[in-house]
Structure 1
Amino acid sequence: MTVRVGVLGATGAVGQRLIQLLDPHPEFEIAALTASDASVGETYKDAAKWRVNSPIPEDVAGLEVRATDPDSVPDDVGLIFSSLPSSVGAEVEPEFCEAGYTVSSNSSNARMDEDVPLIIPEVNADHVDLLEVQRDERGWDGALLKNPNCSTITMVPPLAALDREFDLTDVRVSTLQAVSGAGYSGVTSMEIIDNAIPHIGGEEQKMESESRKLLGSFDGAEVQLNEMDVAASCNRIPTLDGHLENVWADTAEDISAADAEAAMESVTGIDLPSSPEKLITVFEEPDRPQPRLDRNVEDGMGVAVGGFRETTDGVQFNCLAHNTMRGAAGASVLNGELLNKRGYL
């Protein structure tokens, strides 16, 4: 059965990606779009400065933009996708949950709340049942599910493959992040052209905390954070899309570069429409992956890895994912599919 869905923050960069993915989706039908008060009452075509690299869907262009308020969304909407700024999401998303809506959110607020599942379905789908705890504790008829930060989601699938077989102890990561991760107006051309910015506010902390939650264990009542130590340094560079990351992973068990490649190569997707057949693509070439060449691996939903070499206590490798597809809109859609499959809608 088709699930009618709404998109909060539909005119923004991630909101537009959500619409691009949802319009042809086999399980979801777009029924409601919301944006800021300045856009309410306009058609979506007039309200959104469409910047996605495909035409605006015809059946979405004429929809009227609604207020970002539970009372403005039809009762028959079974799932809400949120791409709101975190300051807005922190206030609005609980209101939707209290009103009975289930929310799959890309916003950074509440990701580390003890009763909010933070999910990459191919990594920790079992954490979705934390929603039962959440509903009991908060008295919600709805529910709130989060996908992680776009830089976190790039490195965690490869790390999960290593942790499962070799037990991670320490992770160090340095990122080279695309400008689209800051939104259309997030970084000016004068800041980023001929430059690199060695700081992205709050990004390091997100990678360090979210990865431990994603790789933690769920006992039916709470998530125990993974005990590995994680340190991140995040940098903005002048690429449009695709976050490239240099990762150093120390393991308790002995590991070779070939072991690491084999562990990642064996990872497959799961039975959800947006999950790729092969989650991790391993490149043998020493100069891959590269953002321009490899960000669209598996239609933008895969993770590319390469550059493996052995270190004193583990391995070093490079990983790459499309930050607005796998790292944002695609991740939210995938979580929505998980909610639908597990009967939470």
Structure 2
Amino acid sequence: MPVRVGILGATGAVGQRFIQLLDDHPTFELATVTASEASAGKTYREAAKWRVNTQIPDDVAEMTVGETAPSAVPDDVDLLFSSLPSGVAREVEPAFLEAGYVVSSNSSNDRMAEDVPLTIPEINPGHLDLIEIQRDERGWDGALVKNPNCSTITMVPTLAALDEFGLESVQVSTLQAVSGAGYSGVTSMEIIDNAIPHIGGEEEKMETESRKLLGEFDGTGIDLHGMDVAASCNRVPTLDGHLENVFAETAEDASPAEAAEAMRASSGVDLPSSPEQLIHVFEDFERPQPRMDRGRGDGMQISAGGLQETTDGLKYNCLAHNTIRGAAGASLLNGELLVADGWV
């Protein structure tokens, strides 16, 4: 039997990616979509200003959009995906959790909460065990799981591979696509012939989330990784795909060839949306490039290249599709992990 799922905030940019990725999914059946009061009661076709590069699935187009409230979600829905703005999610998600729903959320609120799993299934699936603590402490029958920020998830799989050499410090400068700000987030007059050397809140997310993702679950909480992380985040006129320049220092010396071998050894997991090989490493120093490589592994694979030695360690570039691997696809993959591990 398929697992019946719903999308909270289904008309936005990430919500549309959810709908695209759920079409013909082998495990999930989309049963309900919600949005703001202004959209509730309309068909999805009427409510959504569709921006994804495929057509709206016919069955979804004629769905009636519900209000984003537990009372509007059918009782037989097993799992909810949240793409709500963080300010809305902070107020709304707890009501669904108290009502007993399991929520896999892309929203940024509560990612660093001590009892909320922040999860990349190929990197730290064991962090889902925080759900037991979360339920005990908050009295929820449901469960809340978060995926990391789109820029964080681009870098962390490569860091996880390098951690066998003992990560000590990381510096990263990002070149982030405009889709990461949402459809109306950056105007054409701001970004054409330009680059914006600041993205509010993004640097802090990379610096804190990375340490939680690579931390250890000790049975009561997450012991954050001890590495230092410094980030500089920049918006550039690329449509999709975050490219990042990473400088990593490790306790043990690692040659570029050894680092590349460690990254290539990073495998996917046995879940429908996980690529067979998590990281593709290019020998060509001109790759990865957003336009050419963001779609690798159906948008779920990380690309890396340009591995070189520095006086203190290594430098390299990495890339991921920010609205697939970095948002809807990451949350979808967490949902698959929740099902596989028996939480749903």
| TM-score after normalising by structure 1 | 0.99
Q: Paired residue for 2:3?
A: 3
Deviations 1:251-287 (A, max 9, x none): 0011111111010011110000000001100000011
Q: Paired residue for 1:121?
A: 121
Q: Paired residue for 1:336?
A: 335
Structure 1 position 221, deviation (Å): 1.4
Tell me the secondary structure at the aligned position of residue 75 of structure 2: coil
Q: Paired residue for 1:199?
A: 198
| Alpha-carbon distance in 2 for matches of 1:117, 1:33 | 24
Aligned letter for 2:303? A
| Alpha-carbon distance in 2 for matches of 1:166, 1:233 | 24
| TM-score after normalising by structure 2 | 0.99
Q: Paired residue for 2:216?
A: 217
Structure 1 position 89 matched with structure 2 position 89: yes
Q: Paired residue for 2:316?
A: 317
| Alpha-carbon distance in 2 for matches of 1:99, 1:313 | 51
| Alpha-carbon distance in 2 for matches of 1:286, 1:269 | 24
Deviations 1:295-329 (A, max 9, x none): 01111000000001001221000000000000000
Runs of 4+ in 1 over 2 A off after TM superposition: none
Alignment of structure 1 residues 118-197 onto 2, 5 Å: 118-163=118-163, 165-197=164-196
| Alpha-carbon distance in 2 for matches of 1:58, 1:314 | 52
Q: Paired residue for 1:279?
A: 278
Q: Paired residue for 1:289?
A: 288
Q: Paired residue for 1:234?
A: 233
| Alpha-carbon distance in 2 for matches of 1:125, 1:220 | 14
Deviations 1:207-237 (A, max 9, x none): 0000000000001210000000000000000
Q: Paired residue for 2:73?
A: 73
Aligned letter for 1:20? Q
Identity of aligned residues (%): 73
| Alpha-carbon distance in 1 for matches of 2:201, 2:136 | 31
Q: Paired residue for 1:60?
A: 60
User: How many residues were matched structurally?
Assistant: 344
Aligned letter for 2:182? G
Unmatched 5+ residue regions in structure 2? none
| Alpha-carbon distance in 2 for matches of 1:241, 1:311 | 29
Tell me the secondary structure at the aligned position of residue 38 of structure 2: helix
| Alpha-carbon distance in 2 for matches of 1:63, 1:122 | 34
Unmatched 5+ residue regions in structure 1? none
Tell me the secondary structure at the aligned position of residue 135 of structure 2: helix
Aligned letter for 2:146? K
Structure 1 position 20 matched with structure 2 position 20: yes
| Alpha-carbon distance in 2 for matches of 1:133, 1:273 | 28
| Alpha-carbon distance in 2 for matches of 1:73, 1:129 | 26
| Alpha-carbon distance in 1 for matches of 2:85, 2:104 | 14
